Amino acid sequence: MKMKHLFLILLLVISLQAKCQWIEISPNYKGFYNFQMLDSLKLYCMTDDTLSPWYNMIIKTENGGKNWDIVRKSNTTPPEIIVGYVFISKDSLIYYTHLNKLYYSIDGGKSITEVQNLPNGGPYNSTTNVLFKNKYTSSIIVYCNDWNYYITNDFCKTWNKVQLDAGSYQLTQIHFIGSQLGYANRRIKDTFTFYKTNDDGKKWFKGGDFPYQPYTTIFTSGNIGYYIAYKSYQKFDVYKTIDGGKSWVPKNSGLPIDSGTSIIDLFFSDDKNGWVSVMEAGKISQIYRTINGGENWRRLAFDNFSCRLSYFTGFDSNNMVLWPHTGHNCIYRTTNGGGPYSGIKEIRNNSENYQIYPNPATNSLFILCKNELTCSGKVQIIDLQGQLLYQDELHNSDQNIDLKNLSSGIYFLKIIEEKNVFISRIIIE
């Protein structure tokens, strides 16, 4: 009997774990950003200090979010605010401040030493695109006040100027896919290009152009890369190259590409496995995944996040975290790639199945089931902040919705069936 009970308990634990696709691991702080993963359990980020939002902290978890600890705080006397950081290992840390000073630590932030031999007045005084690391080597690249990059391979003991093929310019989204090969973006007026290095970041040369403004870029091998193309207001597409950036092809099959959604971030762990975060109606978070290199995308089953999540930081195809848009305070982690697909097909153009009228509406809205469609499911009205304002069962072939309690504005109407979700944008005057 004891063995039987133990077996039942084990089955229950496995069943519960299988349902935990995304787990909230938010610490008791706020304003999370600038995430880094060293492995599947070690996660670092920056957050606002409890004393003042102007003073920042570096915090860490080494057990997948069960416990969080403060690594380093900004100095308050005299004021010196931490702006950016990188961890080389769990004990080796480099960070810079708003006073253009660079510090390093070899004991996980307990004690620090100022880098005295940093060239040309320290790092550029900016909140982004200053400090980069090759995750496959110990190389660190710093963007300095003379508009040039400098690289160190010996933990800030010696520095060498990074060679750029066209003088001094700023690179963004530097990322390495091997010990030697790395990529970065560069903008020259209205021309958007990507740059490559084949020697661990010492020299950079132009690799090719993007057809549209890049929003998030990631290369997964020497020939394959992906990026979110910003084409116009609220118009984002996913593009792919298989020839090293000579040509780019849209890969949007299955994604809700229309004026009511925005693709916010993209992460690929390899050539085939990728994820995008989608903001529906400006606030609702949904995650889509591909397992065939962007040929098809499908929505993951779990999207019941407690706040607006926007950005990925990933370690491999199973382990990644989702972190929030500005002003939201939650972090989610998955250990199985985000879990299974939802099994629900989203249909944006529902004119063949339902007629929503009048639109714009004033006091009432009608839903007409067409083509002898069986009217069953739920009806929801959601505002642009993602709040559910109305819900009822769909039970009539020509159902009336009372709008008197809703203010004028733009909303989304959802009809949720067993296997499909129909979505329409409505206007209340």
**Domain ranges, ordered by start, for the chain:** 210-343, 347-428
Residue 92: is its pLDDT beyond 90? yes
**How large is the average pLDDT for residues 223-235?**
86
What is the chain's length? 429
Asked whether the beta carbons of 84 and 131 are under 8 A apart, the reply is: yes
Average pLDDT over every residue of 86-101: 93
Question: In DSSP terms, which residues pair with 18 in a beta bridge?
Answer: none
> What span, in angstroms and rounded, lies between the C-alpha atoms of 39 and 400?
54
Identify the three-state secondary structure at position 258: coil
**Residue 327 vs residue 162, higher pLDDT:** 162
The least confident of 238-247, 311-320, 420-429 is 420-429
Distance CA 348, CA 16 (A): 33
**What's the pLDDT band for 121 if we cut at 50, 70, 90?**
confident
Candidates 195, 208, 334; CA nearest to 277 is 334
* Residue type for position 353: N
357-375 exposure pattern, b = at least 16 Cβ within 10 A, e = fewer: eeeebeeebebebeeeeeb
- Per-residue pLDDT, averaged over 100-107, amounts to 94
For residue 221, pLDDT beyond 90? yes
Separation between Cα atoms, residue 395 and residue 403, nearest integer Å = 18
Give the mean pLDDT of 212-221: 94
pLDDT score for 257: 74
Q: Is the pLDDT of residue 282 over 70?
A: no
Quick one: pLDDT at residue 194? 96
Residue 335: CA count within 13 A, CB half-sphere: 14
Nearest to 225 by CA among 253, 189, 251: 251
Q: Whose CA is closest to 200, among 174, 181, 223? A: 181
If we measure between CA atoms, which residue out of 214, 265, 227 comes closest to residue 33? Answer: 265
- Is 85:93 a contact under the CB 8 Å cutoff? yes
Q: Which of 132-146, 241-255, 390-404 has the lowest mean pLDDT?
A: 390-404
Query: In the β-sheet with 284-290, what is the strand arrangement from edge to edge?
Result: 261-268, 274-280, 284-290, 298-299
Residue 168, pLDDT above cutoff 80: no
Give the three-state DSSP class for 218: strand
pLDDT of residue 197: 97
Is the distance from CB of 60 to CB of 73 less than 8 angstroms?
Answer: no
pLDDT at residue 273 tops 70 = yes
Question: In the CATH scheme, what is the homologous superfamily, with its name and number, of domain 210-343?
Answer: TolB, C-terminal domain (2.120.10.30)
Q: What is the pLDDT of residue 233?
A: 67
Element (H, E) at 399: strand 398-402
| 143 contacts 151 by C-beta, under 8 angstroms | no
d(CA 251, CA 255): 9
**Which range has the worst mean pLDDT, 14-23, 53-62, 257-266?**
14-23
Say how far apart CA 151 and CA 155 lie, in whole Å: 10
| C-beta separation of 21 from 339 below 8 A | yes
Mean pLDDT to the nearest integer, 352-368: 85
**Level-2 CATH architecture, domain 347-428:** Sandwich (2.60)
With vertex at residue 112, the alpha carbon angle to CA 110 and CA 113, rounded to the nearest 5 degrees, is: 160
